[in-house]
Structure 1
Amino acid sequence: MADLADAEALSAVAEDSRSAAQAWRAVVGWVSIVLQVVIQILRFSPSSWAQLLSFVGLRDHPHSLLSSSAPFKPLPSDIPVEISMETPSSVTSAEELEKLTIVLDLDETLVCAYEASSLPDIVRIQAIDAGLKCFELECKTVDKDAEGREKINHVIVFERPGLEDFLEQTSKFADLVLFTAGLEGYARPLVDVIDVNNRFSLRLYRPSTVSTEHRHHVKDLSCLSKDLCRIVIVDNNPFSFLLQPLNGIPCVAFSAAQPFDEQLLKVVLPLLKQLSLEKDVRPVLYKQFYMPEWFEKHGIPFDNQSP
């Protein structure tokens, strides 16, 4: 009887060991799958770290260890309460105001572009299947081949969701200016495709940017007007408008990994409509984003932080 009991005990221990081993293999397999997904995400987009942190709930958590590294007060996923619910004293009828000027960045704001040779087919297929509009483009570069001829880059461009509708609606109440740090050989044919109705009254390319002691390729809005009360720039890179931080909307960067992005129509457009009724856009944008303080933290001083 004792031998039988010992045998049963050993059998139970062996069974427990097998169960534990199976559970451990399942955990290892799950971790392996997660790591593969993470690797694919990180290879998919230059802004993937931000997307990943946002996905796991770290990026926007007020008590996160990473919260101090947030680049600026992010543009919310819906209309800001203070913008949509309150009517500032400066709001007036559109007939009494000069037309608003909206300066729009190109890459990662209106579109995202990739060299065709470096874009995996699976990425393109998944983005198109999800509904993103895309087109291929041949762009001239500043590089020359061995015979001195201009090199041609083959580029795949993805339009940000709602782009056409966004341009149509904003052009009804504002003058649109395209301002990109990209070279004209790349940007001009691209904009020809997305702006077939010529809604941009002006296109500015890299030669129109300026260099400062802090950054190169800065977009100085004073080249458009000395009066900045009715000028706003939408750009995913806040350093682009470091000379006029009170006029900037730091939009969320766009990539092909975001086929269901709603920033243009659900977030940026309502804010721009509200700004079109402001005598001076700067107080509203200051209270929304506090960009001068953000630049101060990055070593870029700004004298008048309270408009």
Structure 2
Amino acid sequence: MAAAADAAAASEATVGATRGKGTAVQAWKVVVGWMCFLLQVVLQILRGTPSWAQLLSYVGLRHPLLPSSSTSAATSAAASIPFVPLSTEEVPTDTPPPCQKESPDKLIVVLDLDETLVCAYETSSLPTLIRSQAIEYGIKCFELECTSLDKEVDGKQKVNHVTVFERPGLHEFLQQTSEFADLVLFTAGLEGYAKPLVDKIDVHKKFICRLYRPSTVATEYREHVKDLSCLTKDFSRIVLVDNNPFSFLLQPMNGIPCVPFSATQGGDNQLLGVILPLLKQISLQEDVRPLLYETFRMPEWFQKHGIPLQPNQIL
């Protein structure tokens, strides 16, 4: 009987040890899982912005300016915005006066702001790694104060502090392009943020006109679409350069998509090496749309994303 009791006790001890070992292994797996999760969070914080591949992923065309992807443009575009300084509420405003062309034959080049000419971050949350990488790459930056729609506790207008990084070649690009084209700034940003920023980068007054968020329109497919008809009724000599292809929704054959810009991109040469040569080429065309259509096939891109082609979008 004693031997049987000893055997039973030994068996229970073995089972207990096995269970204990299994519990320990399970606990260890949980710890490892949490460590991996925390490491991913830390890496995201250090990166501060989406990876270069993620920034390119939402565009969806096979072209040097427009890499291919099957992901949703709207979701990825929203995720790629590093800083939204102002409220998303619309600001009531009168219709802006039409821009006056310097010459009837001059090309009109409409330029987006964020992630096309610059990228901006809230200064207080800007990761040190991003700033150090930008300095290492020689990317110029400046600090900016801009007003917000939000109010402080005491009722005063809230002021946001922003760090703005200039895309390499920005000032030379504006200077050279203004020699053969009329430049227009068209941003979906609100004026309280965008106006002081553009004042800093356009010290030589190269833009003949500036348009802000209230000048964009809402469609059944996307909001904040940039309708070029507010600038001209003749679309043969006007182009829009923008990192968000949905900005071209109403005039897809007038769009020039560019690679989004972030402060962690070393060796960026989009403005002087890609966009400027294309603008010079199309400035010689009587009608820019055939060449842009052959280059980017934007109407087909919209159809691919479930947005039908309109009759006025066909040459």
Q: Give the partner amino acid of 2:282.
A: L
Kindly state the Cα deviation for residue 178 of structure 1 after the two structures are TM-superposed.
0.2
Secondary structure of the residue that 1:117 maps to in structure 2? helix
Find 2:262's aligned residue among 238, 255, 259: 255
C-alpha distance in structure 1 between counterparts of 2:181 and 2:209, whole Å: 12
**Which of 291-300 and 186-195 deviates more?**
291-300
Distance 2:62 2:237 in 1: 22
Structure 2 partner of 1:44: 48
**Which residue, out of 133, 139, 160, partners 1:153?**
160
Change (3 A) 1:44 1:274: same
For the 8 Å contact 2:145–2:159, the answer to whether it is kept is: yes
The yes-or-no answer on 1:187 pairing with 2:194 is: yes
Q: Which amino acid aligns with 2:154?
A: E
Unmatched 5+ residue regions in structure 1?
Answer: 1-31, 60-68, 78-95
Deviation at 1:131, TM superposition (A): 0.2
Distance 1:255 1:147 in 2: 35
Q: 1:47 to 1:299 in 2, by over 3 A?
A: farther
Which residue number in structure 2 is paired with residue 72 of structure 1?
61
Q: Distance in 2 between matches of 1:41 and 1:227?
A: 47
Residue 171 (structure 1) aligned with residue 147 (structure 2): no
The answer to whether the 8 Å contact 1:100/1:230 transfers is: yes
Q: How far off its partner does 1:242 sit?
A: 0.4
CA distance in 2 between partners of 1:147 and 1:282 (Å):
53
* 1:45 CA displacement: 1.7
Paired residues of 2:226 and 2:248 also in contact (CA < 8 A): yes
Q: Secondary structure at the match of 1:176?
A: strand
> Counterpart of 2:28?
none
Determine if contact 1:73/1:290 at 8 Å carries over to the other structure: no
CA 1:97–1:177 in 2, change beyond 3 Å: closer, same or farther? closer
Match of 2:13 in 1: none
What is aligned with 2:26?
Answer: none
Q: State whether residues 45 and 127 of structure 2, in contact with CA within 8 Å, keep that contact through their aligned partners in structure 1.
A: no
CA RMSD of aligned residues (A): 2.4
The equivalences for 1:134-283 within 5 A come to: 134-283=141-290
Q: Alpha-carbon deviations, 1:140-169, whole Å to 9, x = none? A: 011111222111111000000000000000
> How far does the alpha carbon of each residue in 1:206-257 deviate from its partner, in whole angstroms, 9 at most, with x for none?
1111111111111100000100000000000011120000000011000001
SS at match of 1:215: coil
Give the deviation of 1:73 after TM superposition: 3.3
What whole-Å deviation, never above 9, does each CA across 1:7-31 have from its counterpart, x for those lacking one? xxxxxxxxxxxxxxxxxxxxxxxxx
Is the 1:75–1:250 Cα contact (8 Å) retained in structure 2?
no
Identity %, equivalent residues: 66
Distance in 2 between residues matched to 1:103 and 1:97, nearest whole Å: 16
Aligned residue for 1:249, secondary structure, equals strand
Pick from 100, 118, 127 the counterpart of residue 125 of structure 2: 118
Shift of 1:46: 3.2
AA in 2 matched with 1:73: R
Which structure carries more relative contact order (alpha carbon 8 Å, separation 6+)? Answer: 1
Shift of residue 40, structure 1, vs aligned partner: 5.3
TM-score w.r.t. the length of structure 2 is: 0.71
Looking at structure 2, the residues matched to 117 and 41 of structure 1 have their Cα atoms a distance apart, in angstroms, of 13
Contact 1:42 1:48 in 2 (8 A): no
TM-score of the two chains, using structure 1 as the length reference: 0.73
2:231 & 2:129 partners in 1: Cα distance?
42
Offset at residue 71 of structure 1 (A): 1.6
